[in-house]
Amino acid sequence: MSQKKVLVTGSSGLIGSEVCVYFAERGWQIHGVDNNQRAVFFGAQGDTRWNQQRLQSTLNGFVHHEVDIRDRQGVLDLIAQLKPDAIVHTAAQPSHDRAAAIPFDDFDTNAVGTLNLLEAVRRACPESPFVHMSTNKVYGDAPNEIKMDELETRWEYADPTYSNGIPETFRIDQCKHSLFGASKVAADVMVQEYGRYFNMPTACLRGGCLTGPNHTGVELHGFLSYLIRCNLEGRSYTVFGYKGKQVRDNIHSLDVARFVEAFIETPRVAEVYNIGGGKANSISILEAFKLIEDISGKPMVYTYNETNRIGDHICYYSDLDKMRAHFPNWDITKDLRTTFEEIHQAWVTRTAH
């Protein structure tokens, strides 16, 4: 039996690299697509070449393709040549703050790049599962309309309808998204449409805060990684609005990779899943400060800016019921403290070099 091939876009990023390692350990041949665009979007601090080199030096038979997903012919040619058994699409312009300054780059990467991949897969290997890393930003700021309770260290949903978090049925339109959110909506709906219209096995994973030790965290993207790095270096972290009580659910990149595998093994057509840490792995910024101080023994230095980021969620965590119902063997395996400890250790190691 020939070795199965997976094509991973954004392979030098957090989720992409985790998927590469995970599938390589399970005997798949890994083809990574990345052109270090994160360094263009975020400057030197966003550079992911170190992660590409890590994959090339540690994964047997890893093949790197220096392709920009905006290059339509390049994408069509690559997928026609490879005919991968699965496609995991994690490449993106990932910052909703940055998108406003680079609207064409943002839309061309997130929306058009996704379309290029979908059409290439439809032509070359339409039966191969296509997993798209979408985002909870497709819901825009609509979750902020939910009635909230202000607790001592966090905001919390007051409406019992959302006691487990935001479900996949939550509306995505008639609200403010940021340009990034809008370009990701376009991609998300297109991935669903290729599934429904052409009967292709596609999934949109609407991620909350996806995190882990291999995140090249910067202020505009990579909340936990950047916060932990600030603590380690004694750098001031800026809190934007909501009294630092805004809540996010965090899921470790390994648990994302495990879910991707579960979907590829038993794919469905045009599915949507809210992938995040769920209520159990939700944390506010103030609570995150306390947890990292407990782990590192260092005080958190921060400043408070009363102006919240445009379209920012006051409280967001994912309802994982649908994921667990469809894939009963999957669940969260890494709790918050473990995730924090791993990211902290990774930054300690990286800054020591």
Q: pLDDT: is 71 or 309 the higher one?
A: 71
| Mean pLDDT calculated for residue range 60-84 | 97
Query: Considering only CA atoms, which of 330, 119, 90, 86 is closest in space to residue 201?
Result: 86
- CA–CA distances in Å: residue 94 to residues 134, 289, 346: 10, 24, 22
The string of pLDDT tens digits covering residues 122-171 is: 999 999 999 999 999 999 999 999 999 999 999 999 999 999 999 999 99
**Calpha distance 311→304 (Å, rounded):** 18
Range of the domain at 76: 5-144+165-218+249-283+319-337
Structural domain contains residue 295:
no
Structural domain contains residue 300:
no
* 135: CB partners within 8 A, 6+ apart: 180, 181, 184, 206, 207
Residue 252 has pLDDT above 70, yes or no: yes
Ranking 59-63, 222-226, 239-243, 276-280 by mean pLDDT, the lowest is 222-226
Please give the model's pTM, rounded to 2 decimal places.
0.95
- Other CB atoms within 10 Å distance of the CB of residue 326: 16
Alpha helices in 1-93 (DSSP H): 14-25, 37-42, 49-58, 72-82
Structural domain contains residue 210:
yes
For position 19, which CATH number holds? 3.40.50.720
Confidence grade of residue 97 (pLDDT, cut at 50, 70, 90): confident
For residue 86, give the H/E element and its range. Answer: strand 86-89
**Strand-pair category, 247-252 with 282-284:** antiparallel
Going 83 to 37 to 252 to 341, the CA torsion angle's sign is positive
Q: What is the residue-averaged pLDDT of the chain?
A: 95
Number of domains within the chain: 1
CB contact at 8 A, 12 and 48 = yes
Confidence grade of residue 312 (pLDDT, cut at 50, 70, 90): confident
Determine the pLDDT at residue 231: 97
| Mean pLDDT calculated for residue range 175-179 | 94
Residue 210 has pLDDT above 70, yes or no: yes
Structural domain contains residue 112:
yes
Q: pLDDT: is 186 or 2 the higher one?
A: 186
